[in-house]
Amino acid sequence: MSQPRNPRLVDRRTFLRQSLAGSLTLGFSLHGSHLLARATTDLDLDFQDEGAWSPDLFLSLASDGQLTIVSHRSEMGTGIGTALPMVLADEMEADWERVQIVQGDADRRYGSQNTDGSRSIRNFYHRMREAGALARTMLVTAAAERWQVAADSCHAEKHEVVHKPTGKRLAYGELAAVAATQAPPEADSLQLKPASARRYVGKDIPIRDMDAILHGRAQFGLDIRLPDMLVAVIARPPVLGGKPLEWQESAALKVSGVKQVVAMPTPSAPFMYQALGGIAVLAKDTWSAMRGREALACTWEDGEHAVFDSEKQQEELRANVAKPGRKVRRKGDAESLLKEDGEHLQANYEAPHLAHAPMETPCATARMTEDGVEVWMPTQAPQSAQQAIAGALNLTPQQVTVHVTLLGGGFGRKSKPDYGVEAALLAQETGKPVQVLWTREDDIRHGYYHAASAMSFAASLGEDGLPTAWRQRSAFTPIGFTFNPAARDGSDGELGLGFTDMPFDVPNLSVENGPSTPHVRIGWLRSVCNVFHAFGVSSFADELAAANEADPQEYLLRLIGEGRHLGIDELGAGYGNYGSPLDQYPVDTGRLADVLREVGKRGDWSRRRQELQGSSNPWRGLGIAAHRSFLGYVANIVEVEISSSGALKIPRVDVVADCGLLIHPDRVRAQMEGAVVFGTSLARSGAISAQEGRIVEGNFDTYRIARNMETPAQIHVHLVPSEAPPSGVGETGVPPFAPALCNAIFAATGKRIRRLPLQGQDLKPA
């Protein structure tokens, strides 16, 4: 590499070249050589099972004992670049102080590198264990050969192999060359360590980039510098699918520092990961490029999506859930009972489009090479980037090298690689290295937006206060529209995110989906459809508790009923369970009830609730909610204070999370804390609106992220110890927050919140 780079971001090819001499380097297929690695699909809406995929994993043990492990998933603060190597090192009996971690480039042999959907640990935990066990087994065999003893008389112990009868020891580095000559054993013959022998799994180990991040040495996407590099900003059409009519190229070129103006190709539906078109201004630095873009004075042909008005879209969604929809789950005959019972309860809920708004805006740097193109970008999906760039430049994926930098936040936005496509197209057009930079306004006005939604609920209550019939309808702008312009309905995968898997034990149930008409690119955002589905389901449950004058926690537990596993016969054949088998990761209502009980205990629910009832000036209240998502179970208690003017404070939030086996507890706690803060922003002020096809919001003054004083003063997180298979973490903490918050507002003020965000609503007590 000709440019300075963080040594921890060595690309895979360089790593292999440097490590092959005099070392044990393993590149192996963990599930049998007859299975070939497959690249990820561009569209992974239904959380396809990665368990059948067979990635190659690489580690290198040098003769001096240095162990290098490739992290093939993207690091964005979750700690995954540390957690997966921890699993391998633990199983290998390696000394963590002698481990170096390098970031893997895009490579289909790793299996899926798509770091979203909370899948990294649950889909690669066992594979990384097998990788470590394979290396450990080969090193033990090498030592046994050296000593001419039986392999079962030897064992590995913190970077050494020990001969038990004599106490003789050989360091791993001394055995590397011998081990490198061995044929790897079959995966099914490997002996994995018992839980009692874990060294690192379950421990709080600092993430690998912490020191560099804290001291400003970490390399993010915008830190890339190449010789003769140009910086590009792009004037994109303000309406999806629009194109430029006129622009002042000569005026832009007169701006000091501007070198070139390039018209980008105009995209057409399906928009997928295409560049959005428009006019690019390339300059010697960012400021010059931005000033040149202002001088363009573009006018636009807007196209069909200029009709988009967010208020009218919400009216359409509300209308579509007011009438029968496509039935996606059915039990008994809820409709007949609801028609017979004129006293049933009804409520509607809705939520707007949302933007991802990561602190680091999209950016990418590209340069053409003799073989193709080389791209540096903060991406959650390096293989999707590789494929999209190859398609745009008429190359094969093998001709596209994608280096993954650290991500300054992602939330799902950076799994859509349109910004990498832009950089590659401009590098091809100019013949020079190009860095594309998105401003905050670019990010908010031209992103992939979280679905806008409306939901309706109706329930008929029996003498015991529990529902005898429950009907719920959901309509939302589907992610499928981004990949198929004819898509109008939610997919099975989207509906399986907190809606078809509604956990309450109701004898008569109808779950329905209505259509919508999207006008912007729709993309997955942290927790995806669980965000609004949990808001609706958990808020309506709280309304039923209030109608019965019941304790909300006790009522929720009665709704959930006895612990049971929901089977595919009940959930429907289309239920995807986040890509994992139901026998391994069942929809377990017992675990959901357990986190609900535990959060009540940890948050002192009963005592505090009694204390706060009837309090005023400020009005105070507690709300509670629990939700299963991404195979994990999380419950929240939220405390609120409402002043006489309607100002909201959140003094305390209690979180209980059951995420199965805890690999890296410190990062799990951090993710739960971050989920509360993220959820606070969405609930308080998150809203994207549009007029005449144009996004109204443009920066953090109009698309507000919660300020310090608006976030909870205290967040208490309790993690449930478990030996169950590890579940998702990064997304599981978000869904229960908004309903718990809104339920708390009702407890404090008597006002029921049925529309998000809170901003602009009168919270003064009723």
Q: Over the stretch 19-39, which tens digit does the pLDDT of each residue have?
A: 444 456 665 433 332 211 222
What is this structure's pTM? Answer: 0.93
Answer whether 681's CB lies under 8 Å from 705's CB.
yes
Specify the pairing of strand 299-301 against strand 279-283: unpaired
Write down the pLDDT at residue 25: 61
CATH of domain 221-303+362-437: 3.30.365.10
Segments of the chain assigned to CATH 3.30.365.10: 7-214, 221-303+362-437, 310-354+448-749
The span from the CA of 423 to the CA of 433, in Å, is 9
Has residue 716 got a pLDDT over 60?
yes
Place of tokens 């899948």: 119
Write down the pLDDT at residue 222: 96
CATH of domain 7-214: 3.30.365.10
Q: Over the stretch 323-359, which tens digit does the pLDDT of each residue have?
A: 999 999 999 999 999 988 777 999 999 999 999 999 9
Q: What's the DSSP call for residue 759? A: T
- The residues, ordered by sequence, that sit 6+ positions from 242 with a Cβ below 8 Å of its Cβ are 277, 300, 301, 302, 303, 305, 306, 693
What's the mean pLDDT in 736-741? 98
The span from the CA of 169 to the CA of 160, in Å, is 6
Write down the pLDDT at residue 20: 40
The span from the CA of 726 to the CA of 722, in Å, is 9
Determine the length of the chain.
766
Q: Over the stretch 292-311, which tens digit does the pLDDT of each residue have?
A: 999 999 999 999 999 999 99
Q: Does domain 310-354+448-749 have CATH number 3.30.365.10?
A: yes
Write down the pLDDT at residue 49: 35
Q: Over the stretch 422-448, which tens digit does the pLDDT of each residue have?
A: 999 999 999 999 999 999 999 999 999
Q: Is 126 exposed, middle or buried (0-12, 13-18, 19+ CB in 10 A)?
A: middle
The span from the CA of 740 to the CA of 156, in Å, is 49
Has residue 46 got a pLDDT over 50?
no
